[in-house]
Structure 1
Amino acid sequence: MVKTILVFLLVFGIIVIVHEFGHFYFAKRAGILVREFSIGFGPKLFYHRKGETTYTVRLLPVGGYVRMAGYEEADLRAGMPVSLFFNEENKVEKIDLQNKLQNVNSIPIEVTNFDLEEKLFIEGRIEGQADEVHSYSVTRTALLVEKDGTILQIAPKDRQFQSASLINRMLTNFAGPLNNFILAIIAFSLLAFIQGYVPSSEALIGEVQEDTPAAEANVENGDRILSIDNTEIDSFNQMVTVVGQSPETEMLFTIEKQNGMIVEKNITPESVDDGQGNQIGRIGVQTYLDRSLSSKITYGFTQSWQIISQIVVILGSFLTGGFSIDKLGGPVAIFATSQNVAQAGLFGIISFIGYLSVNLGIMNLLPIPALDGGKLLLNIVEGIRRKPISEEKEGIITLIGVGFLLVLMLAVTWNDIQTFFLN
């Protein structure tokens, strides 16, 4: 169990960090203030501040987020007691929202008014001076200490997400899924180099087993199957399917040898049990293992594309065959799968990272409000309208998306619990 938990945290952590780093990097590049880079949700377990950003690890390892200025502001409001800290120029450099004992170097006030975006000031009544309101200038880089102790930097208007150009906002929104695709490509390419080969999807013959129909017909490693009974063969899987449908039936194989010669062979697949009581045909060959450098480099791209294609087909089936929650999986399903991955060792972990990273990238690009795809859709609408959607309308749209995702996540999680732990 401990090994499974560690694998789950490792895999999920890597994928989330890489995804959020994409948003983080392009936001920084666009001049957007990134207040927090968080791994996990809920109460914070650890935090470290460097530069303008606070890096946190939170209790629930079910995702992460990059907190960009303009999306979520600190919980500062009129009537709140806060402590103000000043620099040498007598400007506020820190606003502490924690309800703790006052520091001798701070001034406690009850906030009456503030503007931390444009005019940069805060007003309030000093404790013990109930009738007099004092106004203080705030520096552009002043810090806010939230009630849970998280330190954030205030964001003048020009540092907020909405102030960035449309193209920079689109790049920032797309960067998370993009990083997931890049991670998957690297993972699968790394897997190919570690293994030393790539299983070929082409209609090539790999190892030929002794005393099998293929061996008796002098089929050799590296031979290419061009057709079977005049049916053109494009892939190894297609060949397996065609052969599997004809046990104990003589079939005409057209084969291209490694020297370029074309030969024809009559081969009768032997009948074997598929483990489910069905008889299928087999000729006794394995998938061809390509050991070339080019195949190892391109495997990251081809394998990632293959997974993308499979996911698109599944998503398309929701439109043609109806929605089925059984086709979806959440953190519980990932955790349950992590047990098998842990047993598979390094190869299994790397492959799992690639597979999940592609999945996360595709799912985040769905045009659902609150997901990256939903944000990109709003960016496109803004580009067409040549003006942004009002913050109020965007907030409502996002709230609807969050509600939908929350309900979907609960349903998927309950379904996963029933599937993996209650059945």
Structure 2
Amino acid sequence: MAETILITILPFLFIMTVVVTIHEAGHYWVARWLGIKVEEFSIGFGPLLRRDQGKHNLWTIRALPLGGYVRFAETGEKSFRKASGLSRITVAFAGPSFNILASFVFFVAVFYAGLTWSSTTILATVPGSGAQLADIHPGDRIVSINGVAISSVDDLYAASHFGDPDGIDRFQLDRSGSLMELDVLKADGKYGLVFNREHARSDLPKSFVLAMKQMVSASVGIFNIPALVYSMGGNPIEVFSGPVGIAHVTGKAVQSEEALLTVLLLLAHLNLGLALVNLLPVPLFDGGRILLYAIESCVKKPASRSVENALAGISVAVIAFTGILVTWSDLQKIILLSFPTP
């Protein structure tokens, strides 16, 4: 139990605190810059653990570290409601923007330091596997599976582990610059492929370029992978991870051979994921607030408290239901990994 806390729970709490602090710092500093009064900056929710009254606002740490908030003044000339529509939109967008910037910095650090990773280029095929029988060659690069673009090992994992475990999938390959298509039979969810492991340390300008490319690839993958899983008859919800799944991945990251770089890579992906999810037009998310403030600016009338509360209530119900499904999926995946079937 003590070992589990040290290698899984504590690193998970640290990583989530970093991601949340970056997000809330975006709201905080941009609000201050725009002259909006901040009353409290909190990391975590629930019971108060620590409070410090600063020169400009109250700083608090609360018991549940899976989030945070910035509380603005509700009355007075410097209140959030008195701010212009553009200012409120800017403050709402600042949180995801800081996460995107942090993601870029972490990716640059990873590429500059150099990390060993699996490419989508095939090193070998397992004898007797579907990949060998389909005549896949070493050096082939996977372009798409069932019409869905494959840009990372995560995409390949989704393709092999979801859908019919003994089904046939349509591969598009790049072989020496020429595109070709092959049907590959899975056996117990496996194609029988071995991928190249590459280690490359890039200079700073190239690291910037690679970081941008990786962010685009990861962003597309957030939407591509669920589509790929659905096209193969799987449940798209299984692709996503909640706190349980992230904690499990964090535990694996801190135990990996390149622990520091792997944790930085995880931070890069979590910051990017949080930013994209928060920009969805859901009322409790920043994207929903941006949409609401834009509508208010167009109609020249703020939404009533009752409308805001109703939208928030619906959002809480949807998020809670989705959270339960994702957590259940996380637990199932962890149990299957811990107790594999013969």
TM over 0.5: yes
8 Å Cα contact 2:106-2:267 kept in structure 1? yes
Matched residue, 1:177: 96
1:14-66 CA-partner distances (Å, limit 9, x unpaired): 10000010011111122222111111111111111102311111111211111
User: Which consecutive unaligned segments of at least 5 residues does structure 1 have?
Assistant: 71-155, 208-223, 227-234, 242-250, 256-273
8 Å Cα contact 1:41-1:59 kept in structure 2? yes
Matched residue, 1:117: none
* Alpha-carbon distance in structure 2 between the residues aligned to 1:286 and 1:341: 17
Deviation for aligned residue 1:339: 1.2
Matched residue, 2:85: 166
Query: Alignment length, in residue pairs?
Result: 284
Q: Taking every aligned residue pair, what percent have the same amino acid on both sides?
A: 30
* Alpha-carbon distance in structure 2 between the residues aligned to 1:164 and 1:341: 43
Matched residue, 2:112: 193
Matched residue, 1:4: 8
1:309-355 CA-partner distances (Å, limit 9, x unpaired): 11132466799889743122211111111110111210111001001
8 Å Cα contact 1:225-1:254 kept in structure 2? no
Is the deviation greater in 177-186 or in 305-314?
Answer: 305-314
* Alpha-carbon distance in structure 2 between the residues aligned to 1:9 and 1:55: 19
Equivalent position to 2:202, from 287, 291, 298: 291
8 Å Cα contact 1:27-1:33 kept in structure 2? yes
> Could you tell me the TM-score, scaled by structure 2's length?
0.70
* Alpha-carbon distance in structure 2 between the residues aligned to 1:311 and 1:358: 10
Which is helix-richer, 1 or 2? 2
- The one of the two structures with greater contact order (alpha-carbon pairs below 8 A, sep at least 6) is 2
* Alpha-carbon distance in structure 2 between the residues aligned to 1:287 and 1:178: 31
Deviation for aligned residue 1:160: 1.6
Deviation for aligned residue 1:383: 2.9
Q: Where do residues 253-402 of structure 1 align in structure 2 (5 Å cutoff)?
A: 253=176, 287=198, 289=200, 291-314=202-225, 324-344=236-256, 345-402=259-316
- Supply the AA of the counterpart residue of 2:209: T
- Matched residue SS, 1:42: strand
8 Å Cα contact 2:151-2:217 kept in structure 1? no
* Alpha-carbon distance in structure 1 between the residues aligned to 2:36 and 2:210: 36
Q: Where do residues 23-42 of structure 1 align in structure 2 (5 Å cutoff)?
A: 23-42=27-46
Distance 1:28 1:315, change over 3 A: farther
8 Å Cα contact 1:37-1:66 kept in structure 2? yes
1:408 matches 2:332: no
Deviation for aligned residue 1:293: 3.5
Matched residue, 1:73: none
8 Å Cα contact 1:199-1:289 kept in structure 2? no
> Could you tell me the TM-score, scaled by structure 1's length?
0.58
1:148-185 CA-partner distances (Å, limit 9, x unpaired): xxxxxxxx331221110111100110111111111110
- Supply the AA of the counterpart residue of 1:160: S
Deviation for aligned residue 1:276: 7.5
1:196-245 CA-partner distances (Å, limit 9, x unpaired): x7979899x9x9xxxxxxxxxxxxxxxx999xxxxxxxx998xxx9xxxx
* Alpha-carbon distance in structure 2 between the residues aligned to 1:277 and 1:391: 53
Distance 1:64 1:421, change over 3 A: farther
Matched residue, 1:96: none
Deviation for aligned residue 1:378: 0.7
* Alpha-carbon distance in structure 2 between the residues aligned to 1:413 and 1:285: 33
* Alpha-carbon distance in structure 2 between the residues aligned to 1:377 and 1:318: 30
8 Å Cα contact 1:36-1:66 kept in structure 2? yes
Deviation for aligned residue 1:361: 0.7
8 Å Cα contact 2:111-2:201 kept in structure 1? no
* Alpha-carbon distance in structure 1 between the residues aligned to 2:213 and 2:175: 31
Which is strand-richer, 1 or 2? 1
* Alpha-carbon distance in structure 2 between the residues aligned to 1:328 and 1:5: 19
Deviation for aligned residue 1:300: 2.2
- Supply the AA of the counterpart residue of 1:342: V
